[in-house]
Amino acid sequence: MAYEFRRDTPVALFQLQPRPAPGARRYILWPAYAYRVLAPKVRQRQINTLQKAVLGLGRAGETSVDRVATLLQLDHELVRFIQKELMSLGYLDQRNSPTGRGLGLLLADDLLNSEDLVAGFVFQDPWTGHLWPRFSDHMDYADVDYVEADFPTLVLGSSGRPRRERPYLVFPGADVVWKTPTADEVLQAVEKHWRALRFRDSISDDSLTEGGPAWRSPTEPNRIAFIQEEPMPVFLTTLAYAPKDGRIDESAWYACDPMGLGANEWLRREMLRQSTKDQHLNELLVGLTPQVDREELVERTRILEQAAVEVINSRLSPRVWSLQLCDSLLAMEREHQEALLLGPVCPADKLATVMVKAAIVLEELFVTLRQDYPTSGTWRVLRTADRDFRTEMLQGIAEQVGFQGTVPELFAHMNLERIRQAADEGYGGLGPHVVASLLAARANETHPMRLAAAAQPDLLHQIARLSLVRGPSAHYNKKAITIQDIDLHVDTVYQAVRSLASIPTHSTR
């Protein structure tokens, strides 16, 4: 059969970029069906989040280092560096005001360029028939030989200093599923690949997460054309690896995205799923991390969980355990306690995990808030093509609700479609849910956001700082997260839960 996976099936090798830095590792060849298509051109982001924020403030007339640093809650030297970089790129002039090129860059916010088409490949999971949210305009093949037992060996490195790696080959077996994907499925894959490129420096890439509402493309499906409708079996080269810093649990290993986008949680889950049917794969994955005595690990986990419960009970009333977010809150505090236990030797990825868990708690908090204080339709008040007017309107609403200071850039210039999805469908990340709740509070005098503003006038800025740490830009990522940072952001979570969920501090009476 032409669609079978064999030992001599072509092996694709794109640029692997494992994050965090790998320690123990093993190359894995993962099966996929490749389809060659014509699709809208993926336009990568030309500037990162903080550069865009500084450029946007410059358009609003805020050009001094002191003022920009205050508004964005950033270090003065970092702001000065970003302005110089934008100036060298021709996006800011000598007065730190946007040039014509800079203004054009701010206006170019479409996800896909529907006019330009590019030939490339989309990839299909052979077990489910679903398309991976990845797209490549080329296919790079690995240099392999079959000297040992007719299995492929990767020949890496340079021609002068070759390095041979024996990968583990994963065969899909007889339970493969393939069907020619629809044009809309291809569009979804292309758009999600663009989104993954945009957030490639984030701690967590959720672009492969299943579920959520149907994706709506701004491009018509008839813009898609199949150059090759029949699938081409390929093995994608990936890497299963343990972090170099190490962690105290035995499940700490990562799967590297085949397209060079760091760690891929979806692929990790798929490897785990396949390992239940493949003993050799299971042994390979287990062998990546040091073996910890199971009883010792269980006891260590029990101690951390007990400490987390005690902290939560000391900071919030027992009513918090009736909330939907209680499990996420416990997970955050358990990671926090582990980081405190490790102290100065705590690995960077463990600190980052605490940040991710903290943001998840806040996301669940705002989703829960939406159930009692509906947000559907609230986004329409911002429905205008004038972005400056939209920003001014959001600023006025925040002041009306009771928050102080300029609305953080993260919220002020948020894409309206993301706000609509959060408001109408309850879908999206932390930022869109915050804005949707803020809009709902505009017409509701008893909305918890008003109570939160009275208790914490700078809550929006605290949440924005946590969001930036969770998904840092290339510049912000250079500033290492510290235990002190962790403590501040965890405090933000507890304060938000107290204010927005009306969960008071623990009473000793």
CATH number reported for the structural domain that contains residue 103 in this entry: 1.10.10
3: in domain: no
**Per-residue pLDDT, 93:** 92
**Per-residue pLDDT, 111:** 41
**368 neighbors 325 (Cβ within 8 angstroms):** yes
102: in domain: yes
Please give the Cα distance from 335 to 247 (Å, whole number).
11
**Per-residue pLDDT, 206:** 40
- Name 37's bridge partners: 120, 226
**224 neighbors 119 (Cβ within 8 angstroms):** no
239: in domain: yes
Q: pLDDT grade, residue 472 (50/70/90)? A: very low
User: Residue 392, Cβ neighbours under 10 Å: how many?
Assistant: 14
Check whether 468 has a pLDDT greater than 50.
Answer: yes
Check whether 362 has a pLDDT greater than 90.
Answer: yes
Q: pLDDT grade, residue 98 (50/70/90)? A: very high
152, 185: one domain: yes
The larger pLDDT score, comparing residue 174 to residue 268, is at 268
20, 147: one domain: yes
Indicate the pairing of strand 225-243 with strand 162-165. unpaired
478: in domain: yes
Structural domains of the chain, count: 3
505: in domain: no
208, 278: one domain: yes
**Per-residue pLDDT, 291:** 60
Q: pLDDT grade, residue 200 (50/70/90)? A: low
Check whether 497 has a pLDDT greater than 90.
Answer: yes
**Per-residue pLDDT, 198:** 57
What does the pLDDT average to over 16-32? 84
The pTM score is 0.51
432, 470: one domain: yes
Give whole-number Cα distances, 215 to 3, 79, 417, 421, in Å. 29, 36, 11, 10
89, 119: one domain: no
Chain position carrying tokens 């100065």 = 344
Sign of CA dihedral 81, 87, 88, 90: positive
CA-closest candidate to residue 502, choices 423, 448, 436, 442: 448
Sign of CA dihedral 190, 191, 194, 200: negative
pLDDT > 70: percent of the chain: 83
Please give the Cα distance from 164 to 279 (Å, whole number).
24
123: in domain: yes
Of 258, 286, 314, the residue that ends a domain is: 286
The larger pLDDT score, comparing residue 237 to residue 297, is at 237
Check whether 508 has a pLDDT greater than 60.
Answer: no
508: in domain: no
120, 259: one domain: yes
Q: For the residues of 171-238, what is the DSSP string, one character each? A: --TT-----PPPHHHHHHHHHHHHHHHHTTTSS---TT---SSPP--SS-GGG-EEEEEEEEEEEEEE
Check whether 496 has a pLDDT greater than 80.
Answer: yes
What does the pLDDT average to over 285-295? 71
Please give the Cα distance from 105 to 52 (Å, whole number).
9
Q: pLDDT grade, residue 250 (50/70/90)? A: very low
The larger pLDDT score, comparing residue 175 to residue 487, is at 487
266, 336: one domain: no
DSSP 123: E
Amino acid at 272: L
Check whether 248 has a pLDDT greater than 60.
Answer: no
**Per-residue pLDDT, 216:** 38
**Per-residue pLDDT, 13:** 94
Helices marked H in 344-428 — which ranges? 348-372, 387-401, 409-412, 416-420
91, 207: one domain: no
94, 223: one domain: no
Q: Which of 96-105, 144-153, 197-206 has the lowest mean pLDDT?
A: 197-206
Of 254, 286, 318, the residue that ends a domain is: 286
What does the pLDDT average to over 330-357? 86
Of 92, 107, 122, the residue that ends a domain is: 107
Check whether 329 has a pLDDT greater than 90.
Answer: yes
222, 168: one domain: yes
150: in domain: yes
DSSP 337: H
**Per-residue pLDDT, 293:** 57
On average, the pLDDT of the chain sits at 81
The larger pLDDT score, comparing residue 103 to residue 312, is at 312
What does the pLDDT average to over 280-297? 76
Per-residue pLDDT tens for 178-187? 788 888 888 8
**Domain containing 365: what range?**
296-500
465, 409: one domain: yes
Please give the Cα distance from 315 to 149 (Å, whole number).
61
Q: pLDDT grade, residue 246 (50/70/90)? A: low
**Per-residue pLDDT, 223:** 63
Per-residue pLDDT tens for 51-89? 888 998 998 889 999 999 888 877 787 788 889 889 888
Q: pLDDT grade, residue 473 (50/70/90)? A: very low
487, 338: one domain: yes
The larger pLDDT score, comparing residue 148 to residue 80, is at 80
Please give the Cα distance from 98 to 87 (Å, whole number).
9
Per-residue pLDDT tens for 396-442? 999 999 998 899 988 988 888 889 988 988 877 888 999 999 999 99
What does the pLDDT average to over 150-170? 87
Q: pLDDT grade, residue 204 (50/70/90)? A: very low
